[in-house]
């Protein structure tokens, strides 16, 4: 497997030089600033140069390496640290997502992002299942992705996959079916305001009695909302629910 296997669908008709890259230095600095404020790993992909522009110092994505080493390795970081089965899956996701992206109207392409799970090998212990979100930041004149930002966090799921395309302008999402090799339209999972409040209070360690007092509702009502949250998110605990809600951008 080679880098071009992931990038050969993107055809750039224009050339970018040092002046063009000086223009996007503000993106790198902005991303660096964001990385100081989040627990997630963040990095920037440059599809034109087929590498990375920035890698944050958060260890989730680094696999025991330094940010500068991962920045230097670029796509080889995936080849070295993603298990073979997941690497093949990433290639399928890449092909399917490019076809989906090309089907979008040009004016909608910056609104969508893709989310999926895969394993990363670690210096010690088993590979860790991570959630990976990728969103285009800059497009070329032909509406190809030039620069994309990626957010990496620990996944709340149990296995690789769970591939989803979403837009902040739409009430639906698109889930990829690996068996039928197609995208399925799924309505957004939504949490009510009261469910969000209870989830956040619970995640902070407050008891059901305390939450009930603050929200002026009964403990039984708190239990009802918790069951509803768990059912909607297909989880069994508040910690899992919080991670899942963050993955789905519900909070």
205 φ/ψ angles, rounded to the nearest 5 degrees: 95, 5
pLDDT values of the chain reduced to their tens digit, one per residue, 251 residues = 788 888 877 888 788 989 989 989 999 999 999 999 988 999 999 999 999 999 999 999 999 999 999 999 999 999 999 999 999 999 999 999 999 998 999 989 999 999 999 999 999 889 999 999 999 999 998 888 999 999 999 987 889 999 999 887 777 789 999 999 999 988 777 788 999 999 989 888 899 999 999 899 999 999 999 999 998 888 888 888 887 787 777 76
Rounded distance between C-alpha atoms, residue 71 and residue 4, angstroms: 18
Query: What is the per-residue pLDDT for 235?
Result: 85
Query: What is the per-residue pLDDT for 171?
Result: 73
Please name which of 145, 72, 80, 78 lies closest in space to residue 106, comparing C-alpha atoms. Answer: 145
**Domains of the chain, each with CATH number or no CATH:** 3-187 (3.30.450.20), 193-247 (1.10.10.10)
- pTM for the structure as a whole: 0.79
Query: What is the per-residue pLDDT for 174?
Result: 92
CB 140 within 8 A of CB 12: yes
Tokens 């690497």 identify what position?
87
């Amino acid at each position: 497997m080679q880098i071009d296997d992931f990038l050969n669908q993107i055809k750039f008709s224009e050339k970018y030089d040092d002046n063009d890259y000086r223009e996007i230095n503000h993106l790198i600095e902005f991303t660096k600033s964001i990385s100081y404020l989040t627990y997630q790993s963040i990095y920037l992909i440059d599809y034109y140069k087929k590498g990375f522009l920035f890698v944050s110092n958060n260890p989730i994505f680094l696999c025991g390496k330094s940010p500068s080493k991962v920045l230097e390795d670029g796509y080889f970081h995936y080849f070295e640290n993603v298990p073979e089965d997941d690497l093949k899956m990433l290639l399928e996701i890449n092909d399917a997502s490019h076809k989906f992206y090309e089907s979008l109207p040009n004016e909608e392409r910056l609104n969508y992002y893709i989310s999926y799970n895969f394993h990363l090998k670690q210096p010690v212990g088993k590979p860790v299942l991570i959630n990976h979100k990728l969103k285009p930041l800059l497009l070329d004149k032909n509406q190809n992705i030039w620069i994309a930002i990626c957010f990496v966090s620990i996944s709340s799921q149990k296995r690789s996959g769970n591939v989803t395309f979403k837009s902040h302008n739409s009430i639906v999402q698109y889930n990829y079916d690996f068996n039928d090799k197609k995208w399925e339209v799924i309505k957004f999972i939504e949490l009510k305001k009261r469910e969000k409040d209870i989830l956040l209070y619970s995640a902070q360690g407050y008891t059901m009695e305390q939450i009930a007092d603050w929200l002026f509702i009964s403990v039984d009502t708190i239990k009802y909302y918790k069951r509803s949250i768990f059912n909607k998110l297909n989880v069994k605990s508040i910690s899992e629910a919080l991670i899942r809600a963050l993955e789905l951008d519900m909070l």
